[in-house]
Amino acid sequence: MPLLAFETSCDETSAAVIHHGRVLSNVVSSQIAMHAEYGGVVPELAAREHLRNLLPVSERAMAAAEVAPAEIDGFAATQGPGLPSALMVGFHAARAAAFALDRPFVGIHHHEAHLYSPWITGRPLTANFSEFQPNVSLIVSGGHTLLVHVQAELKHRLLGSTLDDAAGECFDKVGKLLGLPYPAGPHIDHLAEKGNPRAFDFPRPMIADSSHDFSFSGLKTSVRYFLRDHPELAEDRERLRDLCASVQAAIVETLVAKTIRAAQVMKVRCITASGGVTCNRALRGGLADACAREELTLRLAEPSLCTDNAAMIGVLAERVLAQRTHLASQYADVLPDWSLGRECSLAR
Ligand code: KG4
Ligand code: ZN
């Protein structure tokens, strides 16, 4: 019997129906256009939009999966981390539905869902854990840059994270300096396509550091000073492309080098990547080239599953429910600051 999952941690309202690892439906309603007006996500507006959208999105997900509400056998939602008022909408709706229908309910860690999303592939999208290999996983989103050692399915350990800005945040803040709309990542990706990545030399922060941590705020600052010294550049379309390509290269080379190094240190033969920045074509290409050179297997999250979605929440929830060890209590609440921690939440 199928499971209904919700994701409302930030600015996407999403509902998905999962059955035996198969994604029967995955409906995502993005609020990006609304928040773009303000240059970033406004938490109160996000929560209101989730309240408005959750029911229609759920109805569409169940209709697309050809499943009636009474047929839903379990519920799941993102429990954290994320915006408190946004998380509450999906989490408490799923918890209340589970209570009313006397079905099990599980709260999922958002980053753990990203972490296992590269194992969801094919048409129709299906979780393929039979192909699982121990791996080092890069999770890159607007709020987080994480390197995780995944020793076994549902067993993982955080290796490192960003000390300041996340990679996506760096794309977005550089884009803001250039006057690009929010979120700027996809615009920089597009502009960089015809630019020269070697035109300008920006720092590759902590690239040679022996830790698995990242730092991107210095890169953003160096772009700010560069633009202060070359104000004419923002008006010159061709040089703007070169600038985007050069900044993108600095971010991508840092992410790729540190991910490959972590795989070598942890002695794994597989790398996975997920989160919104994994949509970036230079990052996908850079990881593919480096993995081919090092003879490592690479699994990238499908582009449709890189940004926030309920399918990844539901797929992980189904695995957790199958173990029946981590059901959320009737009194559970959201955990907005739930960090991945050095230990796996699933091993609590
Ligand atoms: O995972 P996500 O959808 O939301 C968060 O949990 O933050 O990631 C959003 C981030 C934004 O910073 C956005 O600029 C970035 O992912 N992003 C990209 C691309 N597509 C999305 N960054 C670079 N290139 C892209 N193509
Ligand atoms: Zn995310």
The pLDDT value recorded for residue 331 is 74
Q: Counting atoms of ligand 1 from 1, which one is nearest the CA of 184?
A: 14
**For 111-145, how does the pLDDT look when each residue is reduced to its tens digit (9 = 90+)?**
999 999 999 999 999 999 999 999 999 999 888 99
Complete edge-to-edge strand list for the sheet that includes strand 126-127: 105-109, 74-80, 3-7, 12-19, 22-30, 126-127, 120-121
Give residue 239 CA to ligand 1 midpoint distance, Å: 24
Give percent helix, percent strand, percent coil of the chain, each to the nearest 5. Answer: 50, 20, 30
- Residue to mutate (ligand 1; options 307, 313, 340; most atoms within 8 A of CB): 307
Q: Does residue 345 have a pLDDT over 70?
A: no
Q: From the alpha carbon of 248, which atom of ligand 1 is closest? A: 23
How many angstroms separate the first and last alpha carbons of the chain?
Answer: 27
Q: What percent of the chain has pLDDT over 90?
A: 82
Interatomic CA distance for residues 148 and 159, integer angstroms: 5
| Cβ 146 vs Cβ 161: under 8 Å | yes
The model's pLDDT over 268-301, given as tens digits with 9 standing for 90+, comes to 999 999 999 999 999 999 999 999 999 999 999 9
Calculate the average pLDDT of the chain: 93
C-alpha–C-alpha distance, residues 193 and 282, integer Å: 9
pLDDT band, very low/low/confident/very high, at 348 (cuts 50, 70, 90): very low
Pick the residue whose CA is nearest to atom 24 on ligand 1: 280
CA of residue 306 to ligand 2 center, whole Å:
8
pLDDT at 284: 98
Least confident of 29-33, 90-94, 341-345: 341-345
The Cα–Cα gap between 57 and 79 comes to 19
The β-bridge partners of 127 are 120
- Residue minimizing CA distance to atom 3 of ligand 1: 307
Mutate-to-test residue for ligand 1 from 35, 109, 111, 141, highest number of ligand atoms within 8 A of CB: 141
Distance 275 CA to ligand 2 centre (A): 6
- Burial (CB < 10 A; 0-12, 13-18, 19+), residue 261, is middle
Matching residue, tokens 């509902």: 15
Strand order in the sheet with 155-161: 155-161, 145-152, 135-140, 270-274, 297-300
Q: Which residues have a Cβ under 8 Å from the Cβ of 310 and sit 6 or more positions away? A: 5, 6, 7, 14, 15, 16, 26, 27, 28, 61
Ligand 1 neighbourhood includes 143 CB (under 6 angstroms): yes
The amino acid at 254: T
Partnered with residue 80 across adjacent β-strands are: 109
